[in-house]
Structure 1
Amino acid sequence: MLINHYSSSGGDAFPFFFRKRGLGTIIGTRTWGGLVGISGNPAFVDGGFFNVPTFGFVNTEGEWDVEGVGVAPDIEVWDRPEQIVQGKDPCIEKAVEVLLEELKKNPPKSVTTPKAPDRSKWIEREIK
């Protein structure tokens, strides 16, 4: 999974649960750490508004988590502006490298397609 310091809210929660389930490697930079929720507040008379944090995120151990801290990557990679203007994408390049290495360690299982069933007998049953 690719994350960066602009990820927040669901971009914080998703990598948290991705890691919790052990689904794979997280690459990039620490997420923003904005996982406190807000709920609707009435607008001011002039059309302005304000938000008040009303609920937070608690992990499965019953501790406050992620808010103000973010989710750290397993492999830290920064997208440097000078590389981006050269058409490079360090995070994607690292992700491809990691995935190819994973495929070497855990190659996909080959699946043989079974012979197609003889469905003509099914039609005979339905006609009778």
Structure 2
Amino acid sequence: MTVRRAAKYIAILGLFLAAVAAATGIVAARQYGSGAYLASLVSATMIWSVGALSLLIVALAPTPPARVNAALLGMLVRMALPMVAIAYFSKSNHPLAADGIVGLLVVHYLLGLVAETLLSVRLISPSSVKAPGTVASS
């Protein structure tokens, strides 16, 4: 059940980042040219992949307390690849660097972070968790 919800949330994150990629590609193309569309697509795909992996880590945790720990692990996963990519593209002569991928990575990361955090919280706190002080029925 939780994995199915995670798959749904991963799809939602993908649709959200696709819309962000389209909007940021249009804006970035004004400054960097048509190569900004590809840079925006690459950025959104990278952020979606780490966000999807993070959501999957949370979903595979067996209990709600373990899901909280999994969300913390997911934060490391979510930050690692974008940070490495930003460091790489900041120092390289790669064509995507000239097309503004560093700024696009930051924008996609921050917007994806908001969406993915909201989705992770929904995975962590399922409605089946009992409030403290309640007695389980037999």
Higher relative contact order (CA 8 A, sep 6+): 2
The structure carrying a bigger helix percent of its residues is 2
TM-score, length-normalised on structure 1? 0.32
TM-score, normalised by the number of residues in structure 2: 0.30
Q: Whose strand fraction is larger, Structure 1's or Structure 2's? A: 1
Give the number of the structure whose alpha-carbon radius of gyration is greater.
1
